[in-house]
Amino acid sequence: LDGNNEVHLGFIHRRLRTHEKREMQKEILSILGLPHRPKPNLSQGKYNSAPLFMLDLYNTISGEEKIPVEVKLSRYHSTTQSLPLATYQETAFLNDADMVMSFVNLVEYDRELSPQRRHHKEFKFNLSLIPDSEAITAAEFRLYKECVSRTIRNETFLLKVYQVVKEHPDREADLFLLDSRRLWAADEGWLEFDITATSNLWVMSPVHNLGLQVSLETSSGLSISSKEAGLVGRSGALEKQPFMVAFFKISNVHIRAPR
């Protein structure tokens, strides 16, 4: 491949024989360090926001060798206008990372509790399958907010992201505030929240992985649902689904067993 992922015309496209195909699959999986070929359940996954975001990162890596950073960033934004925007900081994480992983939000339904209790939205991610040779260098939680035209033009919302510390069957969970942000009703775009420390805790101690909660209040302190504030949930557009992304540094070298 040349820098633009173009395959040199000289390379022939030849149908592989069955045994060649089998051998090649075995070799490639071994090089990739994978025990078997993954069988993802892609009922909704392929065009979800996380894969699109990751494809953006992949395109950045594939084309970055020859392009200086300044040009790269401007080109990056131009290519991602219709895709989630990655910040300069994320590109820096990307440069340092050996692996980047996006995680599907596991909460099958957007649990918005009854008005008697505070509106909040739950998110859970399964980080138990990360190879133990990988260490998280940065992790982000990403939500997409749409412009809310229904409310007063200059209405603001206070958005808070919590790490769930402990759950109780009969009352609110114990929470730890990770981040809070004041948003305009008219704001539109991706919101990123640094959850590096929380993710590291979840990897080191999976029993503490009780997910995140997001709550919103109006400027007058009234609790409102995330949908009213314009946050896109499971029922929203596929390419605006919430997800988490983590950047990893590998700590040891993968040695392939000789064949």
Partner 1 sequence: STGGKRRQQNRNRSTQPQDGSRSSAPADYNSSDQKTPCRRHELFVSFRELGWQDWIIAPEGYAANYCEGECSFPLNAHMNATNHAIVQTLVHLMNPENVPKPCCAPTKLHAISVLYFDDNSNVILKKYQNMVVLACGCH
Q: Quick one: which segment of 31-39, 161-169, 196-204, 223-231 binds partner 1 (CB under 8 A)? A: 31-39
Mapped onto helix, strand or coil, the DSSP state of residue 234 is coil
Q: Give the rounded distance of the alpha carbon of 50 from its chain centre.
A: 5
3 binds partner 1 (CB under 8 A): no
Binders of partner 1 in range 38-57 (CB under 8 A)? 38-42, 45, 50-51, 54-55, 57
> Which of 212, 80, 75 is CA-nearest to residue 142?
212
DSSP 237: -
**Min CB(196)–partner 1 separation in Å:** 18
> Which of 152, 142, 175 is CA-nearest to residue 228?
152
Phi, psi of 106, rounded to the nearest 5 degrees: -85, -15
Binders of partner 1 in range 119-178 (CB under 8 A)? 126, 129
Binders of partner 1 in range 228-257 (CB under 8 A)? 253
Token pair 């939500």: residue: 143
> Which of 90, 84, 93 is CA-nearest to residue 145?
84
Q: Quick one: which segment of 15-23, 160-168, 192-200, 233-241 binds partner 1 (CB under 8 A)? A: 15-23
**List of residues contacting partner 1 (CB under 8 A):** 1, 5, 7-8, 10-16, 21, 24-25, 28, 31-32, 37-42, 45, 50-51, 54-55, 57-59, 61-62, 97-104, 126, 129, 253, 258
